[in-house]
Structure 1
Amino acid sequence: MPIADPSPVLRLSGRNPPHAFVAPSPAAPAGPPPARVHGTATGPTDGRLRRVFMVGCPRSGTTVVQAALSAHAGLLTLPETHFFAHLLGGFDAWLDDDMDACRAGWRKRLGLYWRPALHRRIAEEMQGIGHPLGAGYRWRAGWTGRASVRRFVAGLDEGARRTGRHGWLEKSPDHIAQVEAIQALCPDARFIHVLRHGEDVVASAIEGEARHARERAFSGGIGHWVRRWNRAAAAHLDAAGRPGHLVVLLEDLIAQPEREIARLCAFLDLPAPVDAGRWESPGHVADLQRHPWQTGALAQGFQTPQRKFEALFGPQMQSWIRSHLADYPLLRETLAQRQQALIAALDGDTGAVAAARGAACAGCPHAGTARTG
């Protein structure tokens, strides 16, 4: 599974969805293979390592999903690396929905050579992860950003093979800002998007800012987190229904963990889990010394998180937040429509797949017309 090596100038393709950031290399596959409904007892049916990225707005439950999936799916996992966020940057431009600025920055950084300060920061983020890239992994002078990506992914592949895993799962929520670049550089990657109700995310982030002020992990204030959740929700919506992407709602996972974990494994073409509602947190999910706020998520598991919105905010602030957040029920409904065929396929309902595709084509200007020639 080679890593795509984009040309120095990455360009847009009119064949891709809006905001698609693609590598024009003719050798790169068009996208990840479609998810199969069933894996095998020994792993993926095609024998290829699964490269999985989990993204979302912080405080959305990504740590819980990561731990549960890693426990059941046989994937190598590790604490948040923020690798692509540090390497490629562009978060502020992404938050402003200025994708042209993001792409320009990505092109520049992929061609730059070794930067000591950047690599020290990445190394600090990856402390305590048990050398999943191999004990001999080192950053080297003379590596471009593009070479660093190749070595990073190859190291995770090596770690998965060395430990007998079906692939690996990298969970850094802020990589949602670099999804297009990651997909261009690693075309066979699959992305799991985790979405939680905006009110709960904002409340959790503000509480985290108060509890963990020393770490400065959730700074920015209420307005920032409202804006950040809205932008993440828009990114999830844009990805829903696209090949290689699955959006998971935290409330659904908590309500029906067996069903949702089974869907996730089917999406990755991995063996169906047994007793998915129970799991013990695997090693290297989180670095709790550096990220102590993740302790509660691992301890709670699939328990419904305590509702904090009304306790933290008064009536006026609640009204302001609700008026500025995207409409969650509408977002949920739209996501379900866009993922209808995929979810039906993951559940093995071929009739529902055909019906969903038929419904999607009903509004097509060519619907009902015969093609000749």
Structure 2
Amino acid sequence: MDPDPLPRLFVVGCPRSGTTLLQSFLAAHPDVQAFPETHFFYRLPGDLDGPIPPDLAADLPEVAGFLGRPGLTWPEPATGRLVAQAFLATAAEVTRANGRRTWVEKTPANLYALDRVQRLVPGARFLHILRDGADVAASLCSVSAGWGSSYTPDQAVDLWAECVAITAEHRGRPGHTVVSYAQLAQHPERVLRAACADVGLPYDPVMVAGRAGAASALIKGFETWKGDNTGPLVHRPREKFGLVFDAETQRRVEKRVAEVVVPELTGD
């Protein structure tokens, strides 16, 4: 049996929007088991009864390690549905073994697989986080080289706008909560109380007190770009934006960001 009645939680959003920060607060909760970023669900095939793509098949041992079961034997044939069932069963097992009642998985790109996750995980709750587009663009452009890719300012704004549109489409639907990064960083207890009430998780003050330690346990050694999450909670809007972009680029990015309709956020 699953360790519910608490729902399984998925943190989603544009990369560099604060998904790690939000997951770190949740990971500090005594009822919540948190897993490192698995990049699993969005890579499943659209036809869940079809074979998983070769790149995901090759990464299954790594996914098992992220779940805390490096020796996990995945089912054969490795169809989307069967490997998802194995993922969920293993996550439930690890959660129970650690005395927790539910779990949270944070992979930003799961934003593109919301319907698929809902089919596979009945009662799943999604926590979307939204951040100022100018700050997201600056952060994407400054750190993405460490991911083996790079973004131009316009590509970064395009990605942010696309993610905002997906969140806006799902805002108000059952199972979806939208959180403001700015408000979370400045007023974590207030925002977390509201978000916890929305997803059916009892708020616990240790979510704030234990956030940095929980982040340290979640972040992989090579994920240096996430290091700020392990230190004091500081909100410095547009600081990196002014450092990364020249004046002309700043004006162009600000104009494009202002044209995007951003949904109302929890905590605003």
Q: TM exceeds 0.5?
A: yes
Bigger-Rg structure (1/2): 1
State the distance in 2 between where 1:174 and 1:253 align. 21
Where do 5+ consecutive residues of structure 2 fail to align?
none
CA RMSD of aligned residues (A): 2.5
Letter in 1 for 2:73: R
Give the Cα–Cα distance (whole angstroms) in 2 for the partners of residues 208 and 238 of structure 1. Answer: 28
The code of the aligned residue for 1:313 comes to F
In the alignment, the residues of structure 2 paired with residue 223 and residue 123 of structure 1 have an alpha-carbon distance, to the nearest angstrom, of 36
With structure 1 as the length reference, what TM-score do the two structures score? 0.65
Q: CA deviation at 1:276?
A: 4.6
The aligned counterpart of 2:90 is 155
Distance 1:274 1:297 in 2: 18
Show structure 1 runs of 5+ residues with no match: 3-43, 89-105, 344-373
Identity over the aligned pairs, expressed in percent?
Answer: 32
Which residue of structure 2 lines up, in the alignment, with residue 349 of structure 1? none
- Per the alignment, do residues 326 and 123 of structure 1 end up closer, same or farther by CA in structure 2, a change over 3 Å counting? farther
Take 2:207 and 2:82, find their aligned partners in 1: how far apart are those partners?
Answer: 38
Counterpart position of 2:81: 146
SS of equivalent to 1:65: helix
Supply the AA of the counterpart residue of 1:298: T
Q: Does 1:226 align with 2:157?
A: yes
Matched, 1:285 2:218: yes
Residue of structure 2 in register with 1:183 after alignment: 118
Name the CA shift for 1:142/1:297 in 2 (closer, same or farther; >3 Å): same
Post-superposition shift, 1:122? 3.9
Alpha-carbon deviation of 1:315? Answer: 2.0
Task: In structure 2, give the amino acid aligned to 1:121.
Answer: D
Distance 2:21 2:186 in 1: 14
Question: Who is 2:12 aligned against?
Answer: 55
Distance in 1 separating the partners of 2:194 and 2:244: 35
Give the drift of 1:184.
1.9
Contact 1:114 1:140 in 2 (8 A): no
Match of 2:247 in 1: 315
Query: 2:235 is aligned with what amino acid?
Result: T
CA pair 116-320 structure 1, distance change in 2 beyond 3 A: closer
Aligned to 1:137: 72
Say whether the 8 Å CA contact 1:82–1:122 is kept in structure 2: no
Pick from 239, 243, 249 the counterpart of residue 180 of structure 2: 249
- Bigger fraction of residues in helix: 2
Give per-residue Cα distances to partners, 1:72-125, cap 9 Å, x unaligned. 25211111100022223xxxxxxxxxxxxxxxxx12xx2223655422224335
The verdict on how the C-alpha distance between 1:309 and 1:239 changes in structure 2, with shifts beyond 3 A counting, is same
For residues 171 and 143 of structure 1, the distance between their equivalents in structure 2, rounded to whole angstroms, comes to 23
Compare 53-62 and 278-287 and name the one that shifted more. Answer: 278-287
Question: Shift of the alpha carbon at 1:191?
Answer: 0.2
Q: What is the rounded CA distance, in whole Å, between the counterparts of 2:34 and 2:108 in structure 1?
A: 14
Q: 1:160 to 1:271 in 2, by over 3 A?
A: same
SS where residue 193 of structure 1 aligns? strand
Q: How far has the Cα of 1:322 moved from its partner?
A: 2.0
Task: Name the counterpart of 1:239.
Answer: 170
Distance 1:315 1:200 in 2: 15
Q: Distance in 2 between matches of 1:313 and 1:277?
A: 33
Alpha-carbon distance in structure 1 between the residues aligned to 2:115 and 2:15? 19
CA distance in 1, matches of 2:150, 2:50: 30
Q: CA deviation at 1:272?
A: 2.3
1:119 corresponds to which letter in structure 2? Answer: A
Matched ranges for 1:1-373 at <5 A: 47-72=4-29, 74-88=31-45, 106-107=46-47, 110-113=48-51, 117-124=55-62, 127=65, 129=66, 131-132=67-68, 134-209=69-144, 212=146, 215-216=147-148, 218-274=149-205, 276-279=207-210, 280-282=212-214, 284-289=217-222, 291-300=223-232, 302-305=233-236, 307-327=239-259, 331=262, 334-336=263-265
Amino acid at match of 1:288: G
Residue 173 to residue 326, structure 1, CA distance change in 2 (3 Å): farther
**What CA distance in whole angstroms lies between the structure 2 residues aligned with 1:123 and 1:57?**
26
Q: Does the CA contact (< 8 Å) of 1:86 and 1:122 recur in 2?
A: no
